[in-house]
Amino acid sequence: MVPGRGVKNPVLTYQHVSDIPATFVADPFMVWDNDVWYMFFEILNTETGNGEIGLATSFDGVNWTYRQVVLREPYHLSYPYVFQINKQFYMAPETLMAGSIRLYKATLFPIKWEAANSLVPGKLADPSLFYYEGTWWMFACPRPYHHDTLRLYYARDLSGPWLEHSANPVITGNRRMARPAGRVVVLENEMIRFTQDCYPEYGNAVRAFRITKLTPTCYEEEEVSVSPILSSTGTGWNASGMHHIDPHRTKEGRWIACVDGLSD
């Protein structure tokens, strides 16, 4: 995966954040609405040590303008997995310090959000939701400081009840393919799950897996041939690692993705 023509990365850094002191930005997720790209991402607040959710906008996906912090809590927030259902916007950020996965609903998109439901109890990292064949599915990492385990949940309705997959944990003891790394892509004939390769250390690269079987009682996947799709380059803004991707197919049939990178 390479940058598109005319794109000079990074398009956004912590230095663009103007309303709070920022240490870094990470975990970008995008949605497209009324000819505007909206990108939500973690900002680490230097003063509090907590992650907050920031917003940037773009008309072309190349030139971005930082707007403001749109969500903060007394605890750390990251991984703002944003999506739209029937013109309503939702966000399922990482809220592991709250002791559950919490779903937020936009009351005034894109700047105001309120907690709508608590989906799954536990300290779970990087919840990644998607809809497939009449069912909601969600991956999450229950060992966020080890990065080696993946659990799968499902529900008939977004608000729940959410149930444990019978094969849980679907991955255990593997730091290279367990922890989610961005939006699950559902296409006409396949589903792709992205995962953080946390070996030898966290944030090293992003791998891609094709989901080949998904039912409430069975889960199977295989790594795609071009994986890893993102990795450290040894120089510049992503010299030391890359650990996130959010790809989107545009109405013209092209692809656009936001990623993050570690420079040192």
pLDDT in tens, 137-185: 999 999 999 999 999 999 999 999 999 999 999 999 999 999 999 999 9
Instruction: Find the length of the chain.
Output: 264
Is the bond preceding 21 in cis, omega lying within 30 degrees of 0? no
Structure tokens at 86: 């029937």
> How far apart, in whole angstroms, are the C-alpha atoms of residue 191 and residue 213?
10
Looking at every residue in the chain, the average pLDDT score rounds to: 96
Instruction: Return the amino acid letter for 208.
Output: A
Low-confidence residues in the chain, pLDDT < 50: none
Q: How far is CA 142 from the centre of its chain?
A: 16
Whose tokens are 């190349």? That residue is 62
| Residues whose CB is less than 8 angstroms from the CB of residue 25 and which lie 6 or more positions away in sequence, other chains included | 12, 13, 14, 16, 17, 41, 42, 43, 44, 54, 260
Task: Check if the beta carbon of residue 165 is closer than 8 Å to that of residue 186.
Answer: no
Task: Check if the beta carbon of residue 167 is closer than 8 Å to that of residue 152.
Answer: yes
117 φ, ψ (degrees, to nearest 5): -150, 155
| Residues whose CB is less than 8 angstroms from the CB of residue 223 and which lie 6 or more positions away in sequence, other chains included | 177, 207, 208, 209, 210
pLDDT at site 126: 98
| Residues whose CB is less than 8 angstroms from the CB of residue 240 and which lie 6 or more positions away in sequence, other chains included | 203, 232, 262, 263, 264
> How far apart, in whole angstroms, are the C-alpha atoms of residue 177 and residue 208?
9
* DSSP string of 195-249, one letter each residue: EEE-SSSTT-EEEEEEEEEEETTEEEEEE-TT---EE--SSGGGSSB---EEEEE
State the chain's maximal CA–CA distance in angstroms. Answer: 48
Q: CATH number of 14-259: 2.70.150.10, 1.10.10.60, 2.115.10.20, 3.60.20.10?
A: 2.115.10.20
HSE (CB half, 13 Å, CA atoms) of 206? Answer: 26
User: How buried is residue 155: exposed, middle or buried, by Cβ count under 10 Å (0-12/13-18/19+)?
Assistant: middle
Query: At 1, which helix (H) or strand (E)?
Result: none
